[in-house]
Amino acid sequence: MSDLPAVSREWHLLNRPVGWPKPEDFALVEAEVPAPGEGQVLVRNTYLSVDPYMRGRMSAAKSYVAPFELGKVMQGGAVGEVVASNAEGLAVGDHVLHFFGWREYAVVAAAHAVKVDPQAAPLPAYLGVLGMTGLTAYAGLLRTAAFKEGDAVFVSGAAGAVGSQVGQIAKLKGASRVIGSAGSKEKVELLVEEYGFDAAFNYKDGPVAEQLRAAAPNGIDVYFDNVGGEHLEAAIGSLNEGGRIAVCGMISVYNDTEPAPGPRNLARLIQTRGRIEGFLVGDHYDLQPQFVQEVGPWVRAGRLKYRETVVEGIENNLEAFLGVLRGDNTGKMIVKL
């Protein structure tokens, strides 16, 4: 341990944000770097993940995962290098994926660290395209939305880490048409020109329902919802008979201080025999081996493309997270230490 730093910088949550998180709700502090105990490893984090769901953990409301504790370091996905080991099966120099991000160094139980191969894929990929976000896209589309060949698919937040993979997986598996929405002209062009979407539109250019009808004149069979709000109502309006909606996220309402109005056209589900179902990736980890087996070769062959927005420095971790909420990122937002 003598050649390791005595302190590690880490982000603490000081106050539970009301509405948009503010810098004063957080603090970057120094903490002592402990030696790993029995069955533990010390990891020097090299890449950290920031994700929309973290906003929910900043509030005290009961949810599917415990809220962050005030005055303590936050958590998130990370990949790093083992620099000290007190555990069988993990040696100094190994790279691992774990859930103790928002910090430079982390003591991790070996049982909670997944060894990853930097030769098989770049390390940041294990936080995105081959990690939790990729599995989210795969499970939500194929299991929750029960996608089948020939379906017309609409994806909101389609230039994000999850949405961009949903659209590409649908195309690779034989969708008749894939439509995406995004928040800028550049992202719309990316969806069509690089990710192979059949159509895309900027939701800021006009009513989503009108733009969706123009992009999908024959309706949609699957809607993968990352946004909620106006997008969800528009999708219900364009849903074909037997259509399915998989609700992954609703980033448009995460910072609202008042309840968002629900879709006004839910009665249309009766006519279409449509189905709306929410899902969490944690319920679908049984698909992980199948996911890596199928998607890994697509990534290596360049058939499934992905983008990352990389922000450098632990001191910019908070700004990177706020950028995700604003939609600044194209693809997966990664913090490089």
- Give 76-98 pLDDT, tens digit per residue: 999 999 999 999 999 999 999 99
Q: Is 252 helix (H, G, I), strand (E, B) or coil?
A: helix
Tokens of 251: 């980033």
Which has more pLDDT, 64 or 108? 108
The position carrying tokens 């008042």 is 258
Tokens of 20: 């948009």
Q: How far is CA 118 from CA 97, 158, 293, 334, in A?
A: 11, 27, 17, 16
- Please state the rounded mean pLDDT for residues 314-328: 95
Q: Is 130 helix (H, G, I), strand (E, B) or coil?
A: coil
For the chain, what is the mean pLDDT? 94
CB atoms within 10 A of CB 146: 15
Give the pLDDT confidence score for residue 1 in this predicted structure.
46
Measure the CA–CA gap between 212 and 215, rounded to whole angstroms: 5
Q: What is the DSSP string of 32-91?
A: E-PPP-TTEEEEEEEEEE--TTHHHHTS-S--SSPPPPBTSB--B-EEEEEEEE-STT--
Which has more pLDDT, 258 or 148? 148
pTM of the model: 0.83
Q: What is the pLDDT of residues 96-115, one digit of tens each?
A: 999 999 999 999 999 999 89
Q: What is the pLDDT of residues 247-303, one digit of tens each?
A: 998 877 777 777 777 799 999 999 999 999 999 998 998 998 899 889 989 998 999
Residue 234 has pLDDT above 80, yes or no: yes
Percent of the chain clearing pLDDT 70 (strictly above): 99
Which has more pLDDT, 258 or 336? 336
Residue 106's φ and ψ, nearest 5 degrees, are: -140, 135
Q: How far is CA 289 from CA 148, 284, 298, 310, in A?
A: 21, 11, 15, 27
Tokens of 131: 């990690």
Residue partners of 275: CB distance under 8 A and separation at least 6: 243, 244, 245, 269
| 102 within 8 A of 76, measured Cβ to Cβ | yes
